[in-house]
A and B are shown apart, each in its own frame.
Chain A
Amino acid sequence: MKRTGFLYDQRYLLHDTGPYHPERAERLQAIYQGIEEAGLLPRLVRINARPAEMKWVEAVHAETYIRRFEEVCLSGHRTLDCEDNQMCRETYETAFLAVGGVLEAGRMIMAGELDNAFCAVRPPGHHAETAEAMGFCYFNNVAILARYLQKEWNIKHIGIIDFDVHHGNGTQHIFEKDPSVFYYSIHQHPSFAYPGTGREFEQGSGDGYGFTKNSPMLPGQSDEEYQRIIEQDMLPAFEPFAPEVIIVSTGFDAHKDDDMADMRLTTEGFAWIMREIVKLAEHHSNGRLISVLEGGYALDRLPELAADHVRILLEA
């Protein structure tokens, strides 16, 4: 059995997006409840969230953006940059706690205290650009983690796998020129789903050309097509790169019962994907894997999806 870390903090519920927003506190409560009711909590190592140091957030985000976020948030405005990004006064602080918790997971894994981890955080991060909030995301949690691992732990090859149903535009753009970070995203085709990027020909630029790979999926496809793409495209793509650590942008919104998009993955399909990613981490990264929550809005499905996810990490 692996030493699997679990990041969850009541304070992640404080980011209040208003009464009708899909990215809501109940998502995390459903995830926690699913893991608890599956009897998995005693087997997990709890990770304590604390606010991230400013220097790590600044490793990805523009100082002017961070200051603007703080000002807009603390002055009581309900949105940042776009109507999608609903906030409350606690949002800025919660975003720092999310990043801080994820970095702590990274530290514990690099220090050998954990083998892998699941970070159930809010707000999510993969749409956040260096100087713009987008798609419910303020700070790019996984991008900041990758920069932390590079700078603090001298990691030369970081693999990021993003299976949220939406393309992680922020993560892609932050690393598109960086050949030391391989970003692979599988998502609903951008002609149909937010944010409209992530086409196959987006492959990075400059020195980073070839270190970004996108697999857009046509709406309605399910387990079989995901399996085909992962086996024939994703797993071979990581072979020559040999990541030392794998970061996963985990979104559960490609589930067939999730109304946010139109993919038809089953709960078992998600488990299969995660098992493959875990095997990939065993093969290349000595099992080092940090999964960070992005989307997933079907409250009835999140408990089972989260429980499976964590069980697979434990039994890797």
Chain B
Amino acid sequence: MFVSRSMNEKVITVAKETALLEAQDLMNEHNIRHLPVVDADNCLVGIVTDRDIRSALPHNLAKGKADPQERKKYAHIKVEEYMTAKPATISPEHTLQDALLMFQKKQVGAFPVVDRDNRLKGIISVRDLLRAFVNVLGIGEPGTLLCVLVEEKVGQLKRIVDVITEEKISCGSVLVARYFEKNKRAVFTYLLTNNVMRVKQKLRDLGFEILDPMQWYMDQLPKAE
């Protein structure tokens, strides 16, 4: 569920002295649209995007169609002139839900991921998030997420749902995921209630284990492919 597990750790970076055209080449080469700008200590100083570069260059250069002669005229432009300094960042300990909501708010395509010392740890883009969120449903309504660990056999989900129904609790979503232990499944029930004590106790009485939330990681979910 955390940014650290879904971010791209192999980040292509540039320095603020890097030529803008060189940054453009890197983006084309790696098919990316965001380049974090770091200093010698790998501390984040800015970010430059394909949009920044397009705004800096004439049309044909921006399209990469200019001849070498014309490129030379723009070779002196440095990244720092067009980058966004002190961009919005995210920490590896943030959750994917945080990232989703931050993307909506900040209207950017990617966040550099930095630690408490502002050192670059990775980058997370909307594309990364979409992949992670394909199986995740409904966090808009007030509720509580429980993770119940069950044996992998027929009828387990029904027993869980029966308890939830007995308690007259509505379900925002249910996600069944592979667990790293063999023959076990993790059932994530998003319950639209504050009142989870009795349902937790009933599930424990039935022999289910309520998992510690910090044990939930997206990489334990089934792979998309």
A interface residues, Cβ below 8 angstroms from B: 20-23, 82-84, 127, 134-136, 166, 169, 189-197, 199-201, 218-220, 259-260, 262, 297
Q: Which residue among A83, A134, A166 has the maximum number of chain B CB atoms within 10 Å of its CB?
A: A83
Q: Which residue among B93, B142, B145, B214 has the maximum number of chain A CB atoms within 10 Å of its CB?
A: B142
- Those 6 A-B pairs whose CB atoms lie nearest each other, nearest first: A195-B142, A219-B213, A135-B194, A194-B194, A191-B97, A194-B144
Chain A residue with the shortest CB-CB distance to B142? A195
Per-residue CB contact flags for chain B residues 86-104 toward chain A (1 = under 8 Å, else 0) read 0000000101011001100
CB contacts under 8 Å to A, within B180-217, are 192-198, 200-201, 212-214
Contacts of A193 in B (CB 8 A): 144-145
- Are A194 and B142 in contact, CB atoms less than 8 angstroms apart? yes
- Are B145 and A191 in contact, CB atoms less than 8 angstroms apart? yes
Contacts of B73 in A (CB 8 A): none
**Of A22, A191, A218, which contacts B139 at CB under 8 A?**
A191
Q: A218-B214, A219-B213 are in contact. Are A259 and B144 (CB under 8 A)?
A: no
Per-residue CB contact flags for chain B residues 140-183 toward chain A (1 = under 8 Å, else 0) read 11111100000000000000000000001110000000000000
- Are A220 and B105 in contact, CB atoms less than 8 angstroms apart? no
Give 17 CB contacts A-B under 8 Å. A20-B198, A21-B195, A23-B195, A83-B168, A136-B195, A190-B97, A191-B97, A191-B98, A192-B145, A194-B142, A195-B143, A197-B142, A218-B213, A220-B213, A259-B200, A259-B201, A260-B196
The total of interchain contacts (Cβ-Cβ below 8 angstroms) comes to: 77
- Are A260 and B197 in contact, CB atoms less than 8 angstroms apart? yes
**Of A135, A189, A192, which contacts B142 at CB under 8 A?**
A135
- Are A259 and B214 in contact, CB atoms less than 8 angstroms apart? no
Interface residues on B, range: 20 to 34
Q: Give Cα distance in the complex from A194 to B192, angstroms.
A: 8
- Are B142 and A169 in contact, CB atoms less than 8 angstroms apart? yes
B47 lies within 8 A of chain A by Cβ: no
| Min CB–CB distance A258 → chain B (angstroms) | 9
B interface residues, Cβ below 8 angstroms from A: 1, 93, 95, 97-98, 101-102, 105, 139-145, 168-170, 192-198, 200-201, 212-214
| Min CB–CB distance B195 → chain A (angstroms) | 5
**Of B98, B140, B193, which contacts A84 at CB under 8 A?**
B193
**Of A136, A189, A200, which contacts B194 at CB under 8 A?**
A136
Chain B residue with the shortest CB-CB distance to A135? B194
Contacts of B142 in A (CB 8 A): 134-135, 169, 194-197
| Min CB–CB distance A53 → chain B (angstroms) | 29
